[in-house]
Structure 1
Amino acid sequence: MPDLSNKVCLVTGASKGVGRGTALQLASYGATCYITGRELATLEDVQAEAEGRRYSGRIFPVKCDHTNEMNTRKVFEKIAIEQNGQLDLLVNNVFTAVEYAFKNYNMGFWKQDISNWDLVSNVELRNNHICSGLASHLMFARGRGLIVNVNTVGGKMYPLIPSHVVGKAEKDRVADRFTLNFQRHNVAFVSLLPSMVRTDFITKFIEKDDDDDQALNEIRASCRQMLDCSESVEFQGKCIAHMLADENISKKAGQILLTTDLAEEYNFEDIDGKSPLSERSLKILTKIYGWSSLSSFIPSWLKLPNLIYNIVIRYNLC
């Protein structure tokens, strides 16, 4: 079990979903975890939940609008003052365009309002760059640290929604291209890709079945096929906790990591005691194609190599 009792962490966009789940898991392993969001009340709910679970770690809510650079800078100033300059982990999780991406996935970019580009770029691009830069000053001074870009396969897929795909692809590229500079200071920068996460939004989306949009219903059906590889909102937190405790984390610097691969490597399960199947699993991919009868005969451990999997995702083959 990771011991994070001496670690100071920051998770952005932690009011709900993966950010909330990540903060709770970090606290469960003893970390001091700062969390940000626009509504202080919802952040305090996360703090109260950690206390209710009697976790050894502590959660500190900080209200922050990440579209405002001064707001963001004040978060890091607060951590520097209260923790004597210590910051061991930054989780770039904040994202504001989930509903927009689902509602406009099939709309040509030439039909989309340019303000939707700003919805993604101001938070997922500009803010993540600011946060990573501010975190690096604290981490470089102490000679260690970990920065995790929470991402999705959106960065690899055919660009139905250009602004969304660019934002996701940028997270992968930053983790890759910044690695040499960060490794000189013993700071690892990685991009983390989950399977389908059972957030409140996704759960409600799957349950709904009354849209006139046939293509959207097909996506919904595909999501249902992926339930076997879906993960809780806290699964990524487990991945991040194990990486933070890994003394050899520098070997993963610059990589795009699947949560299910990390779970196999570090040998842990989701909070419900289950092990989500890898998105690279042929069992899952054949189910998505609609070959359920064939899928039942395929062992869950049989997976596509990363190179082939990336091609499948890139050309939307599944």
Structure 2
Amino acid sequence: MEEVAVLSGLVLGQFLCAGNSAMLNYLQNLGLPSSSIVIFSSIATFLLLSPPSIYFERDKWPKKPSFKLLVFLVLVSLGGVTLFQSFLLKGMKLTSPTMANALQNLSPAIIFVIAIAFSLEKVKLENIYTKVKIAGTLLCVSGAVTMSIFKSATQITNLENIILDSDKIIGCLYLVASSVSLSFAIVLQALILIEYQAPVSLCAITAIIGVFIASVIELVTNHKVETGLLMVNSIELIGYYLLVGTINGSMISINLWAMKKKGPVFVSMFSPLSAVISAFISYFTLGETFSIGSLVGMFIMFAGLYFFLWAKGKEEDPCEVATKDLTIENDMEKPLIL
């Protein structure tokens, strides 16, 4: 049942991810500054997640947070909240939501490499399951990018202008930077969750730290923090930020809970599903069609995901995983990070 719950949660998280991308694009189209979207939606996330984190996870909080924990939290907030969302919004504005979805699908491959470096993922090149995991990751990323590119190609009228457009190139660099920053943040979250098993609390804490970081950056660069009230009336603006904060907080909490169970690479392999979900939503709501290339890319992506999950399941030792979880649950008095 836990396996079913994790898989269902990750699929639900990708529906939320698709909805979050749509909302961010909508807010930008209203003329709201990227900085205000990051700051006020993160405040909403903190306010909405604080009550459940206090009620359900207070007994899991470390009694004496170490300096290393505080550094990790700041780094996660910087990479996963401030830099990721800022780069994503800037890149989306200069390119398109479709291109943003395409380049965000690079995350599984980046996380796989980083997780290997931090010893969070087993790699034995002579092992058949490791080879299948690597092949599955590459297939999943390639299929998702292919699907998104073919989908966006139907909207291109002048390929030469797209290629030579400096704004598009800069936008793509922003999107790649957002994937890299998010990937590092996810791996750091996994390191924290090894001992600090409070995913909702972690999401709330990093959200509010991210608010302070983003506010300081905005004050230093522009000497003010814009609210967006000149573009949208206050009631609507509060509603938009609360909606984005709810979607974003729920999505991250689900992913962190699943990461605690399965690790960062397993969770990241589901991120390309958001591109498929967005494509189907566009098909039913906007009447957009699927090209042959998009369907082929979708098939390759699901094949890669299946191969990875199969290899991961064969590689894990259920007794070892159960023992590890039991040890962590019964040893909450240890320092958070040694």
**Shorter-chain TM-score category?**
under 0.3
TM-score by length of 2: 0.24
More strand by share: 1
Higher RCO structure (Cα 8 Å, ≥6 apart):
2
Which structure would you say has the larger Rg?
2
More helix by share: 2
